Amino acid sequence: MGGFFFAGVFVLITVAMVACSQQSVVIQKILPQQATLETADQTNNPQPSSSLNPIYSLIVRNRTPMVNPGQTVQVEVFLSGYGIPAYNKLNIDWSSPYVINNADPGTLTVSIAAQTNASDQLQLLAGNKYLMVENLSTAGEVAFLDPGFFMPLANENSGLPYEITPTAAENEWDNNPPILLKLNTSKQAEAGDYNISFIFTYDNGQNIVQNQAIASFHVTNWWERNEAWVTIVGVVFAVLSLLTSSIFSILQFSRRH
């Protein structure tokens, strides 16, 4: 009897150990699946945090890629990114000092500003009512961008869980770009290709970083400015020559008969 008793106890202990082992295996299989689902949920729904370091890239759009000497080059400037830099500056320079009109280099128009309201909160000011125009210097221009440029636009948020809210500098205001450069060229400017460099320097919370963009434009030569007229005059002369030749041939034929 004693032997059967100990044998029975041994069998019960073995079965219990196997059952526990199987339960442990099931738990180990379930836990990684739950972790994967949680990770996927966080990955698909990232939320911008105020602790993120500001990051921006310049976007420039040239309205006038080709101009005649004496005409104005117009370049729109936008900034795309997120966060409000503590410090910043935008440097604008052109590849040749001889391409601009020294008497009237042009203007830099800014359509975005900000002010602190009664609740000590930053309030965006933008559009025609708040346009600020500065005259350019012949040596280039340095502008310090108002915090309003970097303010997120709550009314532009679509509510999507993966969206980063657009900022003021990514939009037009009353059909005005955030920044509009108007560079007056010299009437004596030599024909050729020129560049305007835009360098944005800012504090990203850890380092001073830069982003650069270039707008290119072409000053036309005599042929490019007069090609259409020369072509028209050439066609007119060709037609007149053909008509004259035809009339002369008809007269010669009439005299012979």
**Separation of alpha carbons 123 and 128, rounded Å:** 16
Amino acid at 75: V
**Separation of alpha carbons 149 and 85, rounded Å:** 10
Residues listed for the chain: 257
Higher pLDDT, 153 or 227: 153
- Listed by start position, the domains of the chain span 57-221
Instruction: Give CA separation, 226 vs 14, 64, 232, in Å.
Output: 101, 18, 10
Listed range (24-33, 71-80, 230-239) with the worst mean pLDDT: 24-33
Instruction: Give CA separation, 204 vs 79, 104, 114, 130, in Å.
Output: 14, 36, 20, 27
pLDDT beyond 80 at 43: no
Burial of 219 (0-12, 13-18, 19+ CB in 10 A): buried
**Separation of alpha carbons 112 and 193, rounded Å:** 31
Residue (of 209, 93, 202) closest to 147 by Cα position: 202
Residue 79's pLDDT band, with cuts at 50, 70 and 90, is very high
pLDDT beyond 80 at 203: yes
The CB density around residue 46, as the number of other CB atoms within 10 Å, is: 11
Tokens encoding 218: 């072409």
Higher pLDDT, 190 or 52: 190
Mean pLDDT throughout 121-125?
93
In degrees and rounded to multiples of 5, residue 101 shows phi and psi of: -80, 105
Domain 57-221: which CATH number of 1.10.10.1800, 2.60.40.1930, 3.40.250.10, 3.40.1030.10: 2.60.40.1930
Mean pLDDT throughout 176-183?
98
DSSP 8-state class, residue 189: P
> Percent of the chain scored above 70 by pLDDT?
77
The predicted structure's pLDDT at residue 230: 65
pLDDT beyond 50 at 46: no
The CB density around residue 7, as the number of other CB atoms within 10 Å, is: 10
Residue (of 157, 193, 190) closest to 48 by Cα position: 157
Mean pLDDT of the chain: 82
Residue 162's pLDDT band, with cuts at 50, 70 and 90, is confident
Structure pTM? 0.72
pLDDT beyond 80 at 24: no
